[in-house]
Structure 1
Amino acid sequence: MPWEGSLQTSIQFAAQDIVGESVIWAAHEQALYWVDIVGKRIHRLEPESGRHDAWPAPDFPTSIGLRENGGFIVGLCREVCFWCPDSAFEPFVVPEPDLPENRLNEGRVAPDGSFWVSTMQNNLNPDGTPREMTGRSGAIYRIDADGSVMQLTPREYGITNTMGWTGGNRFLFADTPQNEIYSFAYDPQTKRLSDRRTIVKGFARGLPDGSCMDAEDTLWNCRVVGGASIARFTPRGELLALVELPVSWPTSCTFGGPDLSTLYVTSARFTMTPDHLAAHPIEGSLLAIADAGVGISEPKFAG
């Protein structure tokens, strides 16, 4: 039977994010960075000192990653940009110029230094209110330092989430409305994906959102839409643990701290009613789970 219960969880920062996402650990700064998609801002937090900074984004920021050349690579609504704090966003590539009704969603730097992004039919109006989705048109793209873009999957996914690379050259990915997590074979030579397998289907707690890998090659998956938990799966989809959380919509996670042993978790308050938020004011907070495991260093985009 998988372990089920609570670890030592605390509110690290009461961000009140509408949709907190894409949290990463910048070890050279001993700081966390993450985005609030609908709030159109990028956060920086030093857990040790409590120092917090935030910067506005010109559009919905959907993901963020570290760069070898300094600063960050950031997914906005349609384009991928380079950015440094207190500087302008520098356009880099537009992965789907032919699909104006789509937007970017998940994005992560891969172990080889490329940046992977996934897309979905846009579910946001310009003011950040929900927009009805009518189709499944999302795909996964690989972006290299020279600006080349490679489409890795058909355009057939709903709300694209989770990116993790295992030691066995498998790539893990999720479609939130389908309540499924997939495993693909990844060929480092051809850079192609193949052999898609469904490893988690119909898991009873919420729906899959963002994830991170740990040093034991397991996936920590945030369970959004009322899931109020993080599920830990093997690369084959076997449940190892279910960690209860005090927020109902956990969205993404990463290991950080000096020894990479604290699991940090973003959350959302998107579509929640004023009555619910009044009764649950910590929705949208950044959480810290002490001694959850041991993480892996965050890769940097090779450009």
Structure 2
Amino acid sequence: MNARVSLVLDAKDVVGESVLWSAEEKALFWVDIVGRRIHRLEPDSGRHDTWATPDFVTSIGMRRDGGFIVGLTRTVCLWTPGAAFEEFAVPEPDMPENRLNEGRVAPDGSFWVATMQSNLNADGSPRDMDRKSGAIYRIDPAGQVSRLTPNEYGITNTMGWTRDERFFFADTLANEIYAFDHDPAGRAIGNRRTIVAGFARGLPDGSCLDAQDRLWNCRVAGGAAVAGFDGDGRLLELIELPVSWPTSCTFGGADLSTLYVTSARFTMPAAHLDAHPLEGGLFAVAGVGHGTAEPKFGMPG
């Protein structure tokens, strides 16, 4: 492949995450967790809007009936731009030391969200972690919450569903990417196996699948790249980026042929940011394949 990387927006996100493409609006949406804001960008026109959030905002997905489903620190909310955040579900009401992290709409229209021990103080500064207490949850369109795994993960990242009923997931702290089997109804996962372990470039953060079910994984914490893996975890390509902490990615554009990548500048000292001012930016990568349309939350019509 002949990947070509370009800067789309010098967003200066503290922790950019959960980027997705709206074909209807021809726009990208993503969050800045620590910056407590949601972005909307039309790449063609350059129009850029942001909305402040009442708490750390950790994930976002589109809804079938319009608007979005959004993960905040501990609650999952329904939201329409310009309106209030309406509480919809609380996955772990009895685990106050945990927070939400990765979240994505599944092919069946449910919203899957994963938790972790909070690594953030109230002011957004880093907090030490001393245990692995994260789990994966499924929230159906009626708001019913089901736990899909034990509370045994460190920093939960990556969610992707293949056409042959596999589910990909990652634990950043363990530097591992997993494949599970999941039932056709999408309500359970099992038979976990590790497909990527100890990969030398950074640590696994967010990912997306392309139309061939290849996994494109952002390598955070100094990885400075997006790694393309096949379904068995074999490296296919490494896309070098001009930022050291890429965080999440999605395919977008008119034919879903552009890979958009968010990044972070969390905990980076001023001297590093002076020397690397694009940290926290949004990037486009051309020439790596095509994606598929993002599912929407809600009962299929």
Superposition TM-score tier, normalisation by shorter sequence: over 0.9
3-state DSSP class of the match of 1:59? Answer: coil
Find 2:135's aligned residue among 133, 136, 139.
Answer: 139
Is the aligned partner of 1:80 residue 2:81? no
Check if 1:97 corresponds to 2:93: yes
Q: Tell me the distance in 1 between the aligned counterparts of 2:173 and 2:51.
A: 31
Aligned twin of 1:25 = 21
Which among 4, 14, 33 is matched to residue 8 of structure 1? Answer: 4
Match of 1:197 among 187, 193, 199: 193
Contact kept, 8 Å, 2:219 with 2:227, in 1: the verdict is yes
Matches of 1:19 and 1:263 in 2, distance apart?
18
Q: How does 1:229-240 map to 2 (within 5 A)?
A: 229-240=225-236
Match of 2:54 in 1: 58
State yes or no: 1:153 paired with 2:149.
yes
For structure 2, the residue ranges without an aligned partner over 5 or more in a row are none
> What secondary structure is seen at the aligned counterpart in 1 of 2:272?
helix
Which of the numbers 222, 226, 232 marks the counterpart of 1:226?
222
- What is the CA-CA distance between 1:21 and the residue it aligns to? 0.1
Distance 2:185 2:128 in 1: 39
CA distance in 2, matches of 1:191, 1:28: 28
2:120 corresponds to 1:127: no
Partner deviation per Cα, 1:149-192 (whole Å, 9 max, x = no partner): 01000000000000000111010000001000000110124711
User: d(CA) in 1 for partners of 2:153 and 2:121?
Assistant: 20
Q: Matched residue of 1:127: which SS?
A: coil
Give the letter for the 2:256 counterpart. L
Q: CA deviation at 1:235?
A: 1.3
**Aligned partners of 1:196, 1:290: CA distance in 2, in Å?**
32
CA distance in 2, matches of 1:283, 1:64: 22
1:109 partnered with 2:110: no
TM-aligned CA deviation for residue 290 of structure 1: 1.5
Give the corresponding residue for 1:243: 239
Aligned to 1:207: 203
Percent sequence identity is 69
State the match for 1:263 in structure 2: 259
Match of 1:253 in 2: 249
Residues 254-280 of structure 1, C-alpha deviation per residue, up to 9 Å, x if partnerless? 000000000000000000000000000
Q: Partner letter of residue 32 of structure 1?
A: L
Residue 163 of structure 1 aligns to a residue in which SS? strand
Q: 1 CA distance for matches of 2:144 and 2:296?
A: 17
The equivalences for 1:271-286 within 5 A come to 271-286=267-282
C-alpha distance in 2 between matches for 1:190 and 1:10: 36
Secondary structure of residue in 2 paired with 1:301: coil
Structure 1 residue ranges without an equivalent (≥5): none
Deviation at 1:236, TM superposition (A): 1.1
Q: Distance in 2 between matches of 1:274 and 1:251?
A: 20
Moved over 4 A (4+): none
Higher deviation after alignment, 31-40 or 184-193: 184-193
SS in 2 for 1:278: helix
- Counterparts of 1:198 and 1:232, CA distance in 2: 16
CA contact (8 A) 2:108 2:186 kept: no
Amino acid paired to 2:288: A
Q: Which amino acid aligns with 1:210?
A: G
Cα deviation for residue 116 of structure 1 reads 0.1
Count residues in correspondence: 299
Q: TM-score, normalised by structure 1?
A: 0.97
CA distance in structure 1 between the aligned counterparts of 2:137 and 2:85, rounded to whole angstroms: 21
